[in-house]
Structure 1
Amino acid sequence: MELDPGLTALRPLGGFFVLRTGGCPAEPAAPPLDQTYAGQLTGVQTDALAARIGVVADRLRVREPRVCASLAQQGLAARLWSAALACAALYGRTPDLAPRLLRWDAAATAPDDLWLTEVRPLPGDADALADTVLHAHLEPLGEALTRRYGVAPGLLWGNAASALAGAARLLDRWARANARADVAERAAGLTDDLFTHPLLRGTGVRSGAAFHRRSCCLYYRVPGGGVCGDCCFTRPPGSSPRAASG
C-alpha cells in the first residue's frame, strides 16, 4: 500500500496519530523543526521550544523549566513515534519526517501541532524509523534541551522509550479492536526491533506491551502529578508510604 499525500490511513486512529500534510502552514511563525533544534530562527519565527515549555508550564501549573522541558520532549516524541510507527504498520512505508520538512506549532494540540510539508516515502522497517525519529529528531532535540535547560540525556532517552511503548500500545489496541491482526503484528515486530537500538536498549525492561523504565520523566513534580505507570519509582520521591497510599 503506497503512502497517499494526505496519509489518510492514519485518520481512523485518532488525532494523536494524524499528521497534517501538503503545502505550507498558514502560520508563518511556525518554523521547520531543524531550525527549532538548532536555534536558527528568523525575526518573525517563534522559539518553539521555549513556547512549548511555556504552554506546558501554564497547563500543568509548574514553573520548573527542567520539568516542563522533559514533559514537552516526551509529548513531541510520542507524536513522532505515533505517526511513523502507524504509517509503517498500515502502509508498509513511512514518510520522510526530516526536520526541514516538518513544522511545529508549539501552541497547538494534536493533530494541528505538526505539519508535514511534503510526503516522501521511505522504507517501513525499523532502521528507517530509527533514522527518521531517533536520529533526525530526538538526538538534536535532546541536545538542545540538555544545553538550554539542563535535562539529563538519560532521562530524555527514557522519555523517548516510554513514548514509543505508549504509541505501540495504542496502535495495538486499535488494530485488535478493528480486526487488523496484520497491523498489530507488524507494529509489534517493529517495536521489538526498535528497542534493540543502542539508544533505547538500556532505557527499561519490557514484558509484552508493558514497559518499566529506569528513569523518571519528573511528572511527580507537577502539582498532583504522582508517578506514571512505567516509572522507576513506586511513589513520588520524598513522600512517605502513608502519604502515597492516602
Structure 2
Amino acid sequence: MDLDAGLAALRPLGGFFVLRTAVSPVDVAPPGPLPTLAQTYAGTPPDARRDALTARIETVARRLGSHEQRVSASIAHQGLAARLWSAALGCAALYGRLPDLDPALLLWDCDATAPDDLWLTEVRPLPADPGTVADTVLHGHLAPLGATLRARYGVATGLLWGNAGSALAGAARELDRWARAHGRDDVSERCRTLTSALFTHPLLSATGTLTGTAFLRRSCCLYYRVPGGGVCGDCCFPRPPRPSPRATSG
C-alpha cells in the first residue's frame, strides 16, 4: 500500500498516531511560524525570542506541578518519543512504508497536543525495515534530542534511552490492541515483528525486557517525583522509592 499525501490510514488510530501533513484539513492548519524539530534539537528557533523545547518543558512542569526541571524534561521527552514511534510504527504496519521523518521536515507546535503538534511538510516514502526505522527515529530524533536534554537539564543517558524503549513498547501495545480489535491480524503481526527487531538495536536492547506486548524497563522516568505521582506500569520499581534529598532545581 503506497503512502498517500495525507497519511489518511493513520486517522482511525487517533491520538499519538495521527501525523498532520501539508494536505491535512484546512481547519487544523498549523499556526506559524513553527520551528522544525531540527531547529529545536539544535536550539536555533526561527523566532529568537522563543525556544520551543524550553517552552514545552515549562508547560509540562506547570501541568504536573513539578519544580524539578529534570523530571519535567524526562516526561516531555517521553511524550515526544511516543509521538515519533507511534507515527513511524503506524505507517510501517499499515502501509508497509515509512514516511521520511527527517527532523528538517517536521514542524513542531510546542503548545499543542497530539495530533496537532507535529506537521510533516513533505511525504517522502522510505522502506519500513527495522534498520530504516531505527535510523529515522533513534538516530534522527532521539539521539540529538537526548544530547540537548543532557546538556541543558542533566537528564541521565540511561533514563532517556529507557524512555525511548518505554515509548516504543507503549506505541506497539496500542497499535496491536487496535489491530486485534479491528480484525487486522496483518497489522498486528507486522507491528510485533518490527518492534521485536527494534529492541535488538544496541541503543534499546538494554533498556528493558519485552515479552509479547508487555515491557519492563530497567530505569525510571522519574514520574514518581511528581506531586501525587507514582510508578508507571512498566517501571523498574514496584513502588515509589523514597525521594532523595538532592536539590530540586534539576
Question: Shared fold by TM > 0.5?
Answer: yes
State how far apart, in whole Å, the 1-side matches of 2:44 and 2:102 are. Answer: 16
Q: Does 1:58 align with 2:65?
A: no
Map 1:202-213 to 2 at 5 A.
Answer: 202-213=206-217
Instruction: Note the C-alpha offset of 1:48.
Output: 1.1
* Pair 1:213–1:26, CA change in 2 (3 A): closer
- 8 Å CA contact 1:19–1:115 kept in 2: the answer is yes
Matches within 5 A, 1:6-155: 6-22=6-22, 26-43=30-47, 46-155=50-159
Query: 1:8 offset after TM fit, Å?
Result: 0.2
Q: Which moved more, 1:188-197 or 1:45-54?
A: 45-54
Q: Secondary structure at the match of 2:210?
A: strand
| Alignment partners' CA distance in 2, 1:233 and 1:221 | 13
Instruction: Quote the offset at 1:22 in angstroms.
Output: 1.0
Paired residue for 2:202, among 198, 207, 222? 198
State the secondary structure of the residue aligned to 1:115. strand
Letter in 2 for 1:103: L
Residue number in structure 1 paired with 2:185: 181
Which stretch shows the higher mean deviation, 39-48 or 176-185?
Answer: 39-48
Alignment-mate amino acid for residue 106 of structure 1: C
The answer to whether the 8 A contact 1:23-1:117 is kept is no
Q: 2: distance between equivalents of 1:26 and 1:116?
A: 11
Shift of 1:23: 7.0
Q: How much does 1:45 deviate?
A: 6.4
TM-score, normalising length: structure 2? 0.93
**Structure 1 counterpart SS, 2:44:** coil
Deviations 1:193-225 (A, max 9, x none): 000000000011121111110000000011111
TM-superposition CA deviations, 1:49-71 (whole Å, max 9, x none): 10110110111111110000000
Cα distance in 2 for partners of 1:161, 1:175 equals 21
Change (3 A) 1:33 1:45: farther
C-alpha deviation, 1:41, in angstroms: 2.3
The size of the alignment, in residue pairs, is: 239
User: Segments of 4+ in structure 1 off by > 2 A?
Assistant: 23-29, 41-46
Deviation at 1:43, TM superposition (A): 3.4
Report the Cα distance in structure 2 between the residues aligned to 1:45 and 1:102, rounded to whole angstroms.
20
Retained in 2: the 8 A contact 1:77–1:160?
yes
SS of the counterpart of 1:206? strand
Give the C-alpha shift of residue 40 in structure 1: 1.6
Give the letter for the 1:114 counterpart.
L
Match of 2:246 in 1: none
Tell me, what secondary structure is at the counterpart of 2:126? strand
Q: Secondary structure at the match of 1:4?
A: coil
Shift of 1:30: 1.8
Is the Cα–Cα contact under 8 Å of residues 29 and 44 in structure 1 kept in the other structure?
A: no
Structure 1 residue 44 displacement after superposition: 5.1
Give the C-alpha shift of residue 42 in structure 1.
3.3
Gaps (5+ residues) in structure 2?
Answer: 244-250
Tell me the TM-score normalized by structure 1: 0.94
CA offsets per residue over residues 55-108 of structure 1, 9 Å max, x none?
Answer: 101111111100000000000000000000010000000100000000111110
Specify the code of the residue in structure 1 equivalent to 2:223. Answer: Y
Checking the alignment, whether the CA contact within 8 Å between 1:28 and 1:45 is kept in structure 2 is: no
CA distance, structure 1, for counterparts of residue 5 and residue 202 of structure 2: 33
- The residue type equivalent to 2:59 in the other structure is V
The answer (yes or no) to whether the contact 1:87–1:93 under 8 Å persists in 2 is yes
